[in-house]
Chain A
Amino acid sequence: MNGLVLDGLAVGHRRGRRRPAAAVLAGVDARAGAGELTVLVGPNGTGKSTLLHTVAGLLPPLAGTVRVDGADVAELPPAERARRVAVVLTERVEPGLLAVEELVALGRHPHTGPTGALGAADRAAVAAAIEAAGAGHLAGRRVVELSDGERQRVLTARALAQEPAVLLLDEPTAFLDVSSRVTLLDVLRGLAREAGLCVLVSTHDLEPALRLADHAWLLDRTGRLRAGPPEQLVADGAVAEVFDAPGLAFDPAAGTFVLRGDGGGPPVAVVAPEPEKALVARLLAREGCAVAGELAQDVAATVTLTGPGRFAVSADGGGNGRAVELAGWSELAAWARRAGVAP
């Protein structure tokens, strides 16, 4: 089949000639299709980077095979491999005085002759790669002058200039701000769709990754890899099982992590339109209050939005009794903090 197929793959670093290699992951079977964005997610230290290096052919597999469009990556000569698989690693690139086009042109390495001189086709490929990675406005600039987000686009363009069938990226979003992260993932998905590339990205940005990916590989701490559409992994509870921590839970419906209410605080009802209602509920949960439904009985207090940034808090259920006016979000937070620790 087209794309990437892992078959019984074991990965890890060989420690020497005599000592046995320690497998970080073993028996991995997975596929990533051409034309799809696949994300590789998992907690720190589960072997995402080692797996990517092995898939890229930079680390020999301890067992099993990695196939790209049917060809075994470990068996390919380096130049041939480089024409099929391109990587963007976390390794620091020190571009010196290189301009954007010069750096991207280094991706033509497996296609050029012994001097590395660029032909017309190479130049066209470089220009197309810069455009496809959304780095067209950066042309002519020096790489050292770029921001982290811009630099990541240029490095992606460099990999694209290799004209590979498979594009691998190791935590490309690590140093980017929130909007650059989502934009980069979106660019990668566009590349997969439009150029028919098989794109595999490891990332810690679970929420945007699961939202934008066509396919997800989920690694857990036991070294098991589960693959499927993101929604399937969420629905099966696999994502929650891998990532949930004390006090933090993955909310399958919202696709985000929420603080787990521990139920220790007094129940508080919220009367407000969205999105203020959700925001008040989040604030109350953070301060230790349990959030009750609007019609719930036995609430300790009710918070009502009375105007922009204005709240009324009544100390008991029905909204009767003494109401306290709060003039802003910070006063609401202060009240909730007192209420949250109250017996």
Chain B
Amino acid sequence: MKPLAALVAAVLVLFVAAVALGPVGVPPLDTVRVLAGLAPSDPRWGVVIGTVRLPRALTAVLAGAALAVAGALVQTLFRNPLADPYVLGVSSGAGLGVALSLAAGGAAGGAVFADGLVGLGRLGAVGAAALGAAAVLALVLVLARWVRSMVTLLVVGVMVGAVTTAVVSLVLVWSDPRIAQQYVVWGLGSVDGTSRGDLVVLAAVVACGLVVSGLLVKPLNALLLGEAHARSVGVPVRRLRAGVVVAVALLAGGVTAFCGPIAFVGIAVPHLARLLVDTSDHRVLLPVTALTGAAVVLACAIAGHPPGAGTVVPLNVVTSLVGAPVVIAVLLRSRRFALT
């Protein structure tokens, strides 16, 4: 359990750093004071932390843990190291919801443009993204009942995603260019701007998803033997598939609704976690994956709001530019890298 303790410590340190660092630096002592509920030496820091930094850090933790666990689930289910939570069409479904809500808002009047994706417009986008993701996953779930093999389910998920993306393109082409621009911004992903209410909903959804994932640990381990062997030891494979789809819907769907599609975390973090603890046992792997995901997204959130600079680097730019090379380097240096 050594790596687990080290990971918890790393997440805590990164959490404090994410709260302390940013365009306006807060002294570490004051950061800890605010987090502990005490009054800081300067009341402005209490506001900065309470309204911006703390929600951002909490969102990063939730998003990282949720996407990483969802990635580990689908990689084991499809026995494919390239599978990520979005192979089942979550992000394209959420994207369709967002595009439709933006277009509807644009058609209703110019108010949404003024607000962009903040305020009322944001709330609509979140709801629409959640609906879109849920609709696509429900479709995949229904199809999964009829599908015999995992590979077919994978292809079905990708195809449903393709259809949905095509519809999104149509919506964007037929509407105001400013809507397309807002859609692009949504697609860059962000852990900013979550309100207290948002956080409560997101935390609840992610918690449900993690609980469902925890219930799947035993059959997921058996699935390492292959589908037929798993059935031979008594795993109800169809129910397991449905369970994974539900967990992914909650985890990836919930996060995507609030943060937009965050690339890379779902695919890369499970591999990092496997290397870290050197096992394929999901009882160890899933907690480690969740913590690693939280640490990675916290680090990316810090890098996205560089201290002293006035600009913000979009989350997906950070994850892809910094994260992907790091993962490649780690995987290349590890000879132990193996699937699932």
Contacts and interface: CB of A to CB of B under 8 A. Distances in A.
B224 A95 contact: yes
A321 B279 CA distance: 77
A107 B235 CA distance: 11
A177 interface: no
A41 to B, nearest CB: 22
Contacts of A98: 224, 279-281
B236 A109 contact: no
Interface in A87-123: 87, 89, 91-98, 102-103, 106-107, 109-110, 112, 114-117
Most chain A CB within a 10 A radius of its CB, from B235, B281, B336, B339: B281
Interface in B317-340: 336, 338-340
B218 interface: yes
Interface stretch (B56-64, B200-208, B225-233, B308-316): B225-233
B338 A144 contact: yes
A28 B235 CA distance: 28
A161 to B, nearest CB: 10
Contact of A116 (B221, B227, B228): B221
Interface residues of B, number: 28
Given A82-B234, A89-B229, A109-B235, A94 B222 contact: no
Interface string B136-150: 000000000000000
Contact of A96 (B224, B229, B234, B236): B224
A92 B221 contact: no
B339 A96 contact: yes
Given A87-B229, A102-B281, A106-B224, A97 B234 contact: no
Interface in A53-82: 53, 56-58, 78-82
Contacts of A53: 228
A58 B232 contact: yes
B232 A93 contact: no
Interface string B51-94: 00000000000000000000000000001000000000000000
B224 A56 contact: no
Contacts of B232: 56-58, 82, 85-87, 89
A85 B221 CA distance: 20
B338 A97 contact: yes
A109 B231 CA distance: 11
B274 interface: yes
A98 B234 CA distance: 20
Nearest to A116: B218
B132 to A, nearest CB: 32
B218 A114 contact: yes
Chain B interface mostly helix, strand, loop or mixed?
loop
A237 B235 CA distance: 43
Given A89-B228, A106-B233, A96 B218 contact: no
Contacts of B176: none
B283 interface: yes
* Residue among A98, A109, A114 with most chain B CB within 10 A: A109
A79 B280 CA distance: 23
A95 B76 CA distance: 11
B217 interface: yes
A156 interface: no
Given A56-B232, A86-B232, A110-B233, A93 B225 contact: yes
Contacts of B234: 78-82, 109-110
A94 B283 CA distance: 18
Contact of B215 (A96, A97, A103, A114): A114
A117 B284 CA distance: 12
Interface string A162-180: 1000000000000000000
Contact of A162 (B79, B221, B233, B340): B233
A98 B220 CA distance: 13
B279 A116 contact: no
Contacts of A86: 232-233
Contacts of B222: 106, 109
A95 B224 CA distance: 6
A97 B283 contact: no
B278 interface: yes
Nearest to B277: A97
B256 to A, nearest CB: 28
B124 to A, nearest CB: 40
Interface in A110-159: 110, 112, 114-117, 144, 158
A93 B340 contact: no
11 contacts: A80-B234, A81-B234, A89-B232, A91-B226, A94-B224, A94-B339, A102-B281, A106-B224, A109-B222, A116-B217, A144-B338
The 10 closest A-B pairs by CB, nearest first: A116-B218, A82-B234, A96-B280, A109-B233, A79-B234, A78-B234, A96-B340, A91-B226, A97-B280, A110-B234
Interface of B: 79, 215, 217-218, 221-222, 224-229, 231-236, 274, 278-281, 283, 336, 338-340
Given A89-B232, A98-B279, 13 more contacts: A58-B228, A58-B231, A78-B231, A78-B235, A81-B234, A89-B229, A96-B338, A96-B339, A102-B280, A106-B224, A109-B222, A116-B218, A116-B283
